Amino acid sequence: MKSKRLGIAMALSALGLLMATGASAAPNNIKCQMTFTLSGWSVIYKTAHGAGTVTCDNGQSMKVHLDAKGGGLTVGKYKLTDGHAEFSHVTDISQILGTYATASAHAGVVHSGHVAAMTKGRVSMKLSGDGEGWDIGAGLSGFTIHKAK
C-alpha cells in the first residue's frame, strides 16, 4: 500500500514539474509597430504597393515590402505617406509576414485617411495612415507583408 501511495505521489510530482516547465516555457508577446508608405488605385479591382519598417520592443527590426489586392465596388487613386501599424499576439517578428484579410469601407478626397483592422490567424494588425488622393467604395482585400530583399 505504501509503495502504491509513493508511486502516486511521484507521478503527481512529475506532472506538477511538467506543468511548471510548460508554463515557464510559454513565450511572451512582444509589441511590434510598422511605419510605411503605400500607393495604389482601384477600378473594381484594387491594388497598392509600398514599403516600410517593422520594429519590435525586443530589439528586432525588418524592412518590408507591402502588397494590397482585392475586389469590390471601389474606384480611386491614393497615396498613404504616413502609415502606422500595430501588431498584437506576436512572439517573434517573423510572425508578421504573410497575408492579412480585411473587409473595408472607405471614402476620401484630397487629404485622405485610412483606418483598418486585419487578421492573419492569431496575429492581428491595426493600421492607419494619412495621405492624398481620392477613393470611394467597399471591398474585400488581402494585405501582404513580405521581407524586403
**Other C-beta atoms lying within 10 Å of the C-beta of residue 114:** 17
**6 lies in a domain?**
no
Q: pLDDT by residue (tens digit) across 66-79?
A: 998 876 556 677 78
- How many separate domains does the chain show? 1
Cα–Cα distance between 87 and 119 in angstroms, integer?
9
Please give the residue range of the domain that contains residue 110: 30-147
**4 lies in a domain?**
no
Q: How many residues does the chain have?
A: 149
- Decide if pLDDT at 28 tops 70: yes
**118 lies in a domain?**
yes
**5 lies in a domain?**
no
**141 lies in a domain?**
yes
**103 lies in a domain?**
yes
- Residue 39 or 17, more confident: 39
- Look up the CATH number of the domain holding residue 35: 2.40.128
Cα–Cα distance between 48 and 80 in angstroms, integer?
10
Task: Provide the pLDDT for residue 135.
Answer: 62
105: which residues sit within 8 A by CB, 6+ positions away?
A: 137, 138
Q: How confident is the model at residue 92 (pLDDT cuts 50, 70, 90)?
A: very high
**82 lies in a domain?**
yes
Q: pLDDT by residue (tens digit) across 36-82?
A: 998 887 766 678 889 999 999 999 999 999 998 876 556 677 787 88
**72 lies in a domain?**
yes
